[in-house]
Amino acid sequence: MAKNDLISGSIWDEYSNQVIRRMDEPTHQGEITEEQAKEIGGKLIVADFGAESCGDAVRLYWVVNEETDVIESSKFKSFGCGTAIASSDVMAELCIGKTVDEAVKITNIDVEHALRDHPDVPAVPPQKMHCSVMAYDVIKKAAGEYKGVDMESFETEVIICECARVTLGTIQEVIKINDLKTVEEITDYTKAGAFCKSCIKPGGHEEKDIYLVDILTDVRAEMEHDRLKNAADASAAGESSFDKMTIVQRIKVIDEILDTDIRPMLMMDGGNMEIIDIKENIPHYDLYIRYLGACNGCASGDTGTLYAIESVLKQKVDENIRVLPI
């Protein structure tokens, strides 16, 4: 493939030399016949898989030694783009010499990494990552054909991000453990949504049953429900109300609310805030704060932002709180 076959040099540079070589001269492209399988001394397995979103399809041929379950030979045919050909070629190569159970553990990430020129540089642009997913899926299809089971039986968890093979359970757990508040944070922690981005929200390359925005909303709602329940349980158990708390306890309670409801909003604009002190001025509790970053000197710090902070604290902590910036 000549460099001018692609739209621009910048697009060319997003593909590894491994991908380009296997696009033009795939090593394992072809078919295996029943006669050839008998000569090798194994069972011929033929599996087809297609991606409805892009129309690509791949056919995988295996010759499996039925005594050892080892894949003695592996070839493919691809009806798709150059990246699909390259991914299928390295996928077929990775299968050779493995047992069927070992081959099922080959992921699309393994395929993409095998196509890299450098361990830290992706082999393909993010929007083409789905091609290696198709290679992963056809392995499961072939293993299912050999074992006489449905390919879905090899998938024990719900996969949300096909590109990075990130499960629903993993995403939910990471959100809770790290108190994540944005989809960008989920991507930073798990790599879900970092490639073709279809799993982030509706309207992407492929339609999904559930998206990262849905999971984040549901988990955050669950976390808030648990927080309120714990607060109600604590109140029922006779724990101190705000007016009975020490200054340290009051600051801790307020800081938790700020972390959940206020600071993310400020940080989106490059700002933040810190608690300086809290003093009793009965019937009020005067909370002294200092704005940080972009919030320092911002006109809304004494108007809209201040009102938002005070309203949240009045609603969730104590109706007599007053917020005073210094």
* SS3 (DSSP) at 131: helix
Q: How far apart are CA 207 and CA 195, in angstroms?
A: 15
Sign of CA dihedral 306, 312, 315, 321: negative
* SS3 (DSSP) at 244: helix
Q: What is the dihedral of CA 253, 254, 260, 265, to 10 degrees?
A: -170
* SS3 (DSSP) at 229: helix
Q: Is 161 a catalytic residue?
A: no
**Residues 131, 161, 196, 295: which is the catalytic one?**
131
Sign of CA dihedral 247, 257, 169, 183: negative
Q: Are the C-beta atoms of residues 314 and 290 closer than 8 Å to each other?
A: no
* SS3 (DSSP) at 309: helix
Q: Are the C-beta atoms of residues 44 and 32 closer than 8 Å to each other?
A: yes
Q: Is 196 a catalytic residue?
A: no
Backbone angles phi, psi at 108, to 5 degrees: -65, -30
Q: How far apart are CA 34 and CA 248, in angstroms?
A: 77
Q: Catalytic amino acids?
A: 54, 131
